[in-house]
Chain A
Amino acid sequence: MPNPSNPLIVQGDKSLLLEVQNERYEAARDALARFAELEKSPEYIHTYRITALSLWNAASSGLKATDILAQLEDFSKYGLPANVVRDIEEYVGRYGRVKLIREGENLILTSEDATLVIEILNHKATARYLHGQLDAQRVLVAPGRRGHLKQALLQIGYPAEDLAGYAVGDELPVALRAMTLGGNPFHLRHYQEESAEVFHAGGAARGGSGVIVLPCGAGKTIVGMAAMAQLQTSTLILTPNTVAVRQWISELVDKTSLTPDLVGEYTGLQKDIRPVTVSTYQILSYRKRGSGEEFPHFSLFTARNWGLIIYDEVHLLPAPVFRITAEIQARRRLGLTATLVREDGLEGDVFSLIGPQKYNVPWKDLEKQGWIATAMCHEVRLPLAESLRMEYAVTDQRNKYSVAAHNPMKLPVLQAILRRHAGESTLVIGMYLDQLDEIAALLQAPLINGQTPVREREKLYEAFRTGAVKVLVVSKVANFSIDLPDASVAIEVSGTFGSRQEEAQRLGRILRPKADGAMAHFYTIVTRETVDQSFAANRQRFLTEQGYKYEILYEDEVL
């Protein structure tokens, strides 16, 4: 029953406001996670949203409209707006009206509603993926069009319940070690185990495809390995870059029963296809410029009978891989990401092609539990150097950010921050290579950028991990999938115009829990009253919406 002491407010636009400082917060959060999407989680009130997709995802996990409404009533302060009740009933009622099933070799679309079958047969969006009506309630689906049809059905508002199951991949015994090869005890954390179980769903057709959202440092790789251990099948793993490929391989060998001969690397440097193969999006979407030929490395998808495909950093999935993914819907698919924020707005396509969001834990919750480091964000503001003021004032709008980002007054502030964190492993991150060169020279610190050979990068990362190198200057190549367990300070001197995804990833570099439980610090050095500050405002909003404490300092407080 609605009660003013409850933590939840349900709004007419289907947004849900959840009070954090309420004793029923955690119970409400767990309930909402099943049918609503977390939009933002600033300090006091978190915002969730009920969307058609979130309701269909909930319905796919077996939740009924009455269950959802009962949960909302239970946690709500006020009565539910009538339109929200109607919409929930309507949307959940739509799920499962159309099903995809397998009959022998054929994929069949079926519905008990014969009129709906006619409508789908005649709809422009779906007709091209269908091969004619078998009877009033069954339609034959064109071969290889399972993903496309699901996408189209979602667009027209009749999400299919996909019961066609998955191809059984080649068997591969995989077990998680209790003690890593490196000699450390190893076991799954509760949320890693939960997310792998939610994904697997006991092997049912309802499971087996979906996206797990966990913050950087929470061990998404481990979740991938847990999924492999549950499925015991040959696996293709796609990652953003070669360094990440190597890290996956080393983790697999270290923490599972897989031996090096069972794990292959398929990159620009090496092309081994083994029962477990780790590759990059880059190599898959490579083709000779202007040749018009098909993507030659797509053959990797059919090179073996894969039972599982893992998409690491799934938010980076490039368009060609989207396309091929639509055609391999019979394979189990697991997406892993920290932030399902795509600047191109294609989150919906990720859900329909990889699968629904299966698990999502707010960063702050894991921070409270000690699974990721507590992070504090600082923005240090300083004025633009006098010598650059007029140049900034008259320069073209497109160059303003460059002028502001190159502010030489950032250097003494950077040095002051480094003094403040002397002895701590620190990453200095930037976008402009000339600026990074200058910083690396000034600090006498090694630099990693796009031109640094992979072997050299690995050497430097290793030196950073062991503590031999304390300060590492990196360009955006280090944004993703780099495991730097001991980085506790990150200092950003310039970024990609306030990209939210980049901020989350950069912060993620320092979130892995520290051995001594120390706090992580994320600094951004910003030139006041310039576009640098405007971009910083986006970043500030995004990070505070993720629940991070954000402190603004002026240069005199640091120097």
Chain B
Amino acid sequence: MELEHIDPQTFTIVSNERDILCDLFTYLDYFGERSVKRMTRSNEIPSGDMQRLCKLMGVETPQKDDWHSFRMHWVDFIGHLALRLKLVTYDIKGTYRGYSSSEPSFIDNYIVVNQAPLQKFLELTPMAQEKHILETLIHPSMRQEYDNYSNNEFYERSVPGRLDAFSIRGSATGIMPMLDFPQVRGFLLDLLKDCPVGQWFSTNALIAYLKTNHRYFIIPEKLPAARNKWETISARYSNFYEGMDEWRHDEKPIPDSAPDAFERVEGRYVERFLENIPLLMQFVDVAYDPKPYAGPLPSTGTLKAFRITERFQRVMNGQESAPRVTVQPNFDVVIEADTYPAAIIRQVSALGEQASSPQSGHGAYVGIYLLQKARVAAAQVKDPKLDVIQLLKKLSGRKLPQNVQVELEEWAGHADQFTLYEGFALLEMAELPPEAEKFSVERIAPNMHLVRNPEKVFAVLETRGDAPIRIQHQGVKFTQVAEAAQSVFPKEKAAVETQKAAIWVKLTRVITISYQFPQAEAFDAIQKVLASLRCPFQSDLVTKTVSIQQKEQEKFNEAVEKLADEFKFEIE
């Protein structure tokens, strides 16, 4: 196949920066480490988890008003892929729970990572993993009965692409259910395999080539017979509608007799195919016409050009080179691979922190991990049989730098450096008396012994008249030794006096109103009525004063009103 070259200078070039394999493992690691259930009504990933995943993958979080793009978010795409690869399990059908809506609900729909299939998948070489993904994308599974549109380029918009789609009207009938799309995809990928890498080709030229040489690559020349007596296959293009209205109210099927029917159906498919599997898998870069589209919908002639990447050639030709691992004297471990080397990354990331972003040019993975003492020791604790030095030697295929090897030996040794003793005590004393010798576990410093049965040791020392001091530490901090004691530990007085933190006191303003009664009778009467009204008050018998809080003013007024027949009060 020889296609016309094209200069993409005036077009908008789109490359897929996302590596499916890398993001797939990010997804699996994320849900493998935590228990997350999808949302009951929408079956979406909870927004907090979605945001974290987006951050980990380096993609934008989904916009709330993005529904009109009809395009699946990258994280959801990876989730569906993981499901189709059977690496995770979660429900996508739901059950009707009798709410007001007829939409299904998804109760306790946890995303569960399937360890056994994952292990098998990890055992494949990176290239085999990539091929497995490709096969899965080529052979999509139906989400439900009569679903001929899911994962189909005609009807579902590409995740990294820009083009719109045909309406799904009538897609369960007619010629559509009988078309062999896996075969079509395989055929097109085989065809593209012959294109030289890195050169831009015209999409129109590819469509023209197909029209001339493989006119029936999607719909067979001889239309197949109907599947049953209720169906009729009246025309080649009866499933495909065009219209000018955005909501397709005016759409009509494309007539078989139209001289450009091939370009309008198969041509549109080719454009959409290019921005689907090939763009998703980083097999191509594509170039779009930047001018706004004004013709019949779905759009046509917008994806102007494409170029094949090296990654595509490698996968299609099965050229797999082993990942290269370099351990540097500065403790950097550099992993370089043509394809995301998940198994190696898992091994190395257990020993160090990722020190640089793994983005590189097309299809290559480059990651730098900095070996860390804490991680090496933790990995050693997790797997006592792990030989870190041998592992890194095996991965890198050469001797480790001397300083790295020595450090690793020390770090691995740190894993069992600490022993937790319970019920023991530290005894600070130069020489243990013979009576206490039997309690000694270890002399850990010239003046320090680890002893068992501290109460008994204390008693022994007390009997000898050694005047021991027993320090009981609190659960959250060490107790300091008394000033008079002989000890190397910090003493009470020696402790640096830290400034006492001010105590936070929140004051509440309470306004008290006092009424002074000149008459003893009125004073007695108001007290009785206030008491009957359960109004809290204070009274001063000497000054004949009743005090109430401002908030009780209404009750006081009520009391005054009750006494209106006996007393006429005037407040100054």
Contacts and interface: CB of A to CB of B under 8 A. Distances in A.
Interface of A: 1-2, 4, 9-13, 15, 17, 40, 42-45, 76-83, 379, 386-387, 389-391, 394, 396, 540-541, 544-545, 549-552
B366 A42 contact: no
A207 B232 CA distance: 82
Contacts of A13: 356-357, 359
Contacts of B401: 43, 544, 550
B117 interface: no
Contacts of A551: 402-403
Contacts of A1: 198
B330 A45 contact: no
A347 B219 CA distance: 66
Contacts of A10: 360-361
Given A391-B488, A551-B403, A11 B17 contact: no
A81 B13 CA distance: 13
B489 A550 contact: no
Contacts of B364: 9, 77-78
A201 to B, nearest CB: 34
Interface string B7-40: 0000001010100000000000000000000000
A78 B363 CA distance: 8
B334 interface: yes
Residue of B356, B357, B361, B402 most packed against chain A (CB within 10 A): B361
A45 B326 contact: yes
A79 B362 contact: yes
A306 B359 CA distance: 50
Contacts of A544: 328-331, 401, 403
A78 B198 CA distance: 11
Given A43-B401, A544-B329, 10 more contacts: A1-B198, A9-B336, A11-B356, A11-B357, A13-B357, A78-B310, A83-B17, A386-B446, A540-B330, A544-B330
B447 interface: yes
Nearest to B496: A396
A13 B368 CA distance: 12
Contacts of B541: none
Residue of A77, A80, A379 most packed against chain B (CB within 10 A): A77
B448 interface: yes
Interface residues of B, number: 37
A389 B359 CA distance: 47
B445 interface: yes
Contacts of A15: 356
A79 B328 CA distance: 25
A4 B360 contact: no
Contact of A79 (B310, B402, B445, B489): B310
Interface string B311-323: 0000000000100
Contacts of A9: 336, 360-361, 364, 366
A442 to B, nearest CB: 24
B261 to A, nearest CB: 36
Contacts of A82: 13, 15, 17
A79 B309 contact: yes
B177 interface: no
B490 to A, nearest CB: 6
B366 A17 contact: yes
A552 B407 CA distance: 8
Given A43-B401, A394-B490, A545-B330, A552 B13 contact: no
Contacts of B310: 2, 78-79
Contacts of A43: 328-329, 401
A396 B356 CA distance: 36
A56 to B, nearest CB: 23
B406 interface: yes
B232 to A, nearest CB: 49
A254 B448 CA distance: 64
B361 A81 contact: yes
A9 B334 CA distance: 12
A12 B17 contact: yes
Contact of A42 (B332, B359, B445): B332
A343 B310 CA distance: 43
Interface string B399-432: 0011100110000000000000000000000000
Contacts of A389: 445
A374 to B, nearest CB: 16
Binding site secondary structure of chain B: loop
A275 B402 CA distance: 53
B160 to A, nearest CB: 13
Contacts of A17: 334, 366
A11 B15 CA distance: 15
Given A79-B310, A390-B445, A540 B403 contact: yes
Contacts of B336: 9
Given A78-B310, A390-B488, A552 B361 contact: no
Contacts of A44: 326, 328, 334
Contacts of A391: 488
Interface in B115-149: none
Nearest to A40: B330
B360 A549 contact: no
A78 B361 contact: yes
Nearest to A21: B326
A387 B448 CA distance: 11
Interface string B358-383: 01111110100000000000000000
Given A17-B334, A42-B329, A550 B361 contact: no
Interface string B455-489: 00000000000000000000000000000000011
A1 B321 CA distance: 20
Nearest to A13: B357
Q: 4 shortest A-B CB distances, which residue pairs?
A: A12-B359, A78-B361, A544-B329, A79-B361
Contact of B446 (A2, A80, A387, A549): A387
Contacts of B198: 1, 79
A4 B366 CA distance: 13
B357 A4 contact: no
A167 B15 CA distance: 51
Given A386-B445, A390-B447, A45 B334 contact: yes
B339 to A, nearest CB: 12
B78 to A, nearest CB: 19
Given A42-B332, A45-B326, A81 B446 contact: no
A4 B489 CA distance: 62
B403 A552 contact: yes
Interface string B290-327: 00000000000000000001100000000001000010
A11 B445 contact: no
B450 to A, nearest CB: 13
Contacts of A549: 329, 402
A80 B490 CA distance: 60
Given A82-B15, A386-B446, A394-B489, A541 B361 contact: no
Interface in B187-211: 198
B92 to A, nearest CB: 33
A4 B319 CA distance: 12
A92 to B, nearest CB: 19
Given A1-B198, A44-B326, A391-B488, A78 B362 contact: yes
Given A12-B17, A387-B446, A552-B402, A42 B330 contact: yes
B446 A379 contact: no
Residue of A10, A78, A80, A396 most packed against chain B (CB within 10 A): A78
Nearest to A83: B17
Nearest to A10: B361
Contacts of A394: 488-490
Residue of B17, B321, B326, B403 most packed against chain A (CB within 10 A): B403
Nearest to B328: A42
B329 A81 contact: no
A78 B330 contact: no
A39 to B, nearest CB: 11
Contacts of B488: 390-391, 394
A65 to B, nearest CB: 15
A422 B445 CA distance: 36
